[in-house]
């Protein structure tokens, strides 16, 4: 009898917690915090945001081969170009925390971001010539 009461109490507690958690979630609109898409140096991107969101990885992967193998420099699509506009003004980087542009979305969608194992994520070191072709 006691065990039945306890188990019912337990169920009630579990339900209570579950409901209150659900209510909290519903209040802010989602179970995961939305990524912070803060564009530090707004201007015209190389393509509309809808296209960039879906295809930035394809654009970059095609251009990287053209740059490495054919020596195309100053192309419209360039990782350094992305970094030049999107690096955080405080840290100068697109990585470092979930407030920073690249990491923010990649953390949200749980996609590994390995560009920056070789590429420099900070703007400070970029020489002007590199970013010359970044904007149309």
Residues of the shown chain interacting with another protein in the complex, contacts defined by CB under 8 A? 46-48, 50-51, 54-55, 58-59, 62-66, 68-77, 80, 83, 117-120, 122, 125-127, 129-130, 133
Task: Give long-range contacts, CB 8 A cutoff, 24+ apart: 33-36.
Answer: 33/108, 34/108, 35/98, 35/104, 35/105, 35/107, 35/108, 36/98, 36/99, 36/104
CB of 85 to another protein, least distance (A): 14
The residue (of 8 and 119) whose beta carbon lies closer to another protein is: 119
Start-to-end CA span in the chain (Å):
76
The residue (of 110 and 118) whose beta carbon lies closer to another protein is: 118
CB of 30 to another protein, least distance (A): 13
């Amino acid at each position: 009898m006691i065990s039945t009461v306890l188990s019912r109490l337990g169920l009630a507690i579990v339900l209570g917690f579950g409901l209150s958690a659900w209510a909290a979630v519903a209040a802010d609109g989602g179970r995961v915090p939305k990524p912070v898409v803060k564009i530090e140096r707004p201007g015209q991107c190389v393509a509309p945001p809808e296209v960039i969101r879906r295809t930035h990885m394809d654009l970059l992967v095609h251009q990287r081969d053209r740059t490495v193998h054919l020596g195309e420099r100053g192309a419209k699509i360039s990782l350094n170009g992305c970094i030049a506009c999107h690096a955080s003004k405080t840290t100068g980087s697109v990585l470092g925390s979930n407030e920073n542009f690249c990491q923010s979305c990649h953390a949200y969608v749980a996609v590994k971001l390995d560009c920056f194992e070789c590429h420099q994520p900070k703007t400070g070191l970029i020489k002007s010539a590199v970013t010359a072709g970044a904007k149309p």
